[in-house]
Structure 1
Amino acid sequence: MSLAGPDSALSADPATVFDFVPATFPPTPTTELYLKKETVFSSFAIGLSPRDKALVAATQRAAAFGGLNDKSGVPAWKTIPSWYLIGAKDKIIPPKAERAMAERAGSTITEYGGGHLGLMSEPKTVTQEIERAARASAHR
C-alpha cells in the first residue's frame, strides 16, 4: 500500500475501497480484501469495456489485509535488469509513483496510455515490451 502513494485510489478510507471478509473490524492480517465493484469500474479496470470490468469485479482474487503492508525480500532488480511499463491512466499506482520505482530500479521504462490492467487493455503494447526485454536479455 505504501508504494501506491497518496494519489492512489487505494489511499481513501479502506472501507470505501474494499469489501472485507469476514466483515469484522478491525481487520486481522488474514482478513481477505476484495475491491468494491465501484473501485474496479472507476479506478482498477480503466480502459476495459463495461462487460470486462464486471468480469474483473466478479472474478478477482482476494488480497490478505496483512500482505498489503508486508515488506518484500531482496528485490530482483538489484541483480538482474528490469523493464517497467507505466500506465499513464493508472489510478491504483499513479504514474508518478511508478516512475519513481522504475527509476530507482534502473529499469528500462516505457509509458503507454492504459491503466492498471495493461495486460487486458493494451495487450499488444505489453507483448511488444516483453519481447523487447527478452531480446535485450538474450544479448547480455
Structure 2
Amino acid sequence: MSVLNRRSLIAMSAAAALAGIMRQRASAQTGTNEMAEQKTKNVVLVHGAFTDGNCWSEVILRLASKGYTVTAAQIPMTSLADDIAYIKNVLSRQSGPVVLVGHSWGGMVITEAGLSPDVTSLVYVSALVPDENESAIDLQNHGSPSSGMEGARPDGRNSLWFDPAYYGPALADDLPPERIQLLAATQKPIAATSFGEKVVGTAWKKKPSWYVLSRNDRALAPELQSWMAHRSQAAITEVFSSHMSLISHADVVTALIEDAAQA
C-alpha cells in the first residue's frame, strides 16, 4: 500500500471515529433535552379557609414568568368531600403531570386529591396534613390551641366567616393594611361541619412532599405544623411568617414549588 493510500485510510478512519463521537454526543444531548422537557410544568394551587384563589396572586405571577402553567382553584368549601371532588375535576383538565399545592385547609384537600395519577408531588404551605381517617379536629389534638381561630364566627347556617377586625392580627399581621382589608373583604366562608370530615386516602405516603412552616403563625400552631410535616417526611422550609406565608414569603413558596416540579 502506498504512503498516500495509507494516509487516506487513516484520515477516513479518523473522520468516521469523529462522526461516531458526534452522533453519541448528539444522542446524549437529545436525551438531556427530553429529560428537561419531562419536568412537571403544571401547578394547581388550592386556597385555605376564609380566602379564595386570589390569595395566590404573588405566587401565580412568579411561576407564570418561569413558564409554568398555573391554575388557582376556587374550592366551594361546602364540605371536604365537595372540595376534593372539585380538585379532582381541576386535575382532570390538566395536560401532563401536576404539582399539587395546598395552603391551610387546602392541605386537607390535596392529601386525598393528590392520589390522582397525574400528581407527581405535593407542597403544603402552612397547611394541615392529615393521615388516613383523620379530620382537622383530630389534628388539633396533637398541638396547642390556635388562638387566631377565635376570629372565626358562625352565621347560624353552618358557615364560618372570619371577623374582619381579627383578620390581620390572627391571620396576616405581616401584610400591608390594604392587603389585609382586601383579603377580609373577598373571603369565602367554610362549612363548619367540614372540620369534622375525615380524609379517606393519603397521597403523601406515596408521593414526595414539601412543607413551608410558618413560625409566627397564630391560626395553625407552629409546633403542630412541625409535627405534621415531620410525620409526612416532608422536606421542610421554615419562615418567620404569619399564616399567610404564601403572600408574605411568595419567593420562598415559589422556589419550593419549583423544587417539587424538578424532583
Tell me the TM-score normalised to structure 1 length: 0.81
Cα root mean square deviation, aligned: 1.7
How do residues 23-42 of structure 1 correspond to structure 2 at under 5 angstroms? 31-42=158-169
Residue 9 (str. 1) matches residue 147 (str. 2)? yes
- CA distance in structure 1 between the partners assigned to 2:256 and 2:236 by the alignment: 10
Map of 1:25 onto structure 2: none
1:101 corresponds, among 210, 225, 228, to 228
Change in CA separation of 1:89 and 1:133 when aligned onto 2, cut-off 3 Å: same
Aligned residue-pair number: 125
Map of 1:77 onto structure 2: 204
Map of 2:213 onto structure 1: 86
- CA distance in structure 1 between the partners assigned to 2:176 and 2:183 by the alignment: 11
> By how many angstroms is 1:11 displaced?
5.7
Write the letter of the residue equivalent to 2:152: F
User: Which consecutive unaligned segments of at least 5 residues does structure 2 have?
Assistant: 1-135
- CA distance in structure 1 between the partners assigned to 2:172 and 2:148 by the alignment: 13
- CA distance in structure 1 between the partners assigned to 2:258 and 2:231 by the alignment: 23
User: Which consecutive unaligned segments of at least 5 residues does structure 1 have?
Assistant: 23-29
Larger radius of gyration: 2
Tell me the TM-score normalised to structure 2 length: 0.45
Change in CA separation of 1:92 and 1:11 when aligned onto 2, cut-off 3 Å: closer
- Greater shift, 78-87 or 41-50, is seen at 41-50
1:68 corresponds, among 195, 203, 225, to 195
Residue 19 (str. 1) matches residue 153 (str. 2)? yes
> By how many angstroms is 1:37 displaced?
1.4
Write the letter of the residue equivalent to 1:61: K
Write the letter of the residue equivalent to 2:240: G
CA deviations 1:31-81 (Å, max 9, x no partner) are 111111133111111311111111111111111010022112212101111
Change in CA separation of 1:100 and 1:75 when aligned onto 2, cut-off 3 Å: same
Give the match's secondary structure for 2:242: coil
Map of 2:172 onto structure 1: 45
